[in-house]
């Protein structure tokens, strides 16, 4: 179970870091469409990581 918690923490860090790097590299702001696409992708990946966490918890 502890492995799942650590994996979830790492996944969330990497998702957030990737979004921040993408937005910063392109100098996107909330007025830019790309900012909202990045935010949507970020949230989608977070939700998928929750599903993976639940799946892992149920199968381990």
Return the beta strands (E) in the chain as ranges: none
**Per-residue model confidence (pLDDT) at position 1:** 76
Distances (CA, A) of 28 to 25, 45, 46: 8, 20, 21
- pLDDT tens-digit map of 12-26: 999 999 999 999 999
pTM listed for this prediction: 0.87
């Amino acid at each position: 179970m502890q492995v799942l918690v650590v994996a979830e923490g790492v996944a969330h860090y990497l998702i957030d870091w990737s979004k921040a790097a993408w937005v910063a590299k392109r100098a996107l702001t909330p007025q830019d469409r790309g900012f909202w696409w990045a935010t949507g992708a970020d949230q989608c990946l977070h939700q998928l990581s929750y599903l993976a966490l639940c799946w892992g918890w149920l199968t381990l």
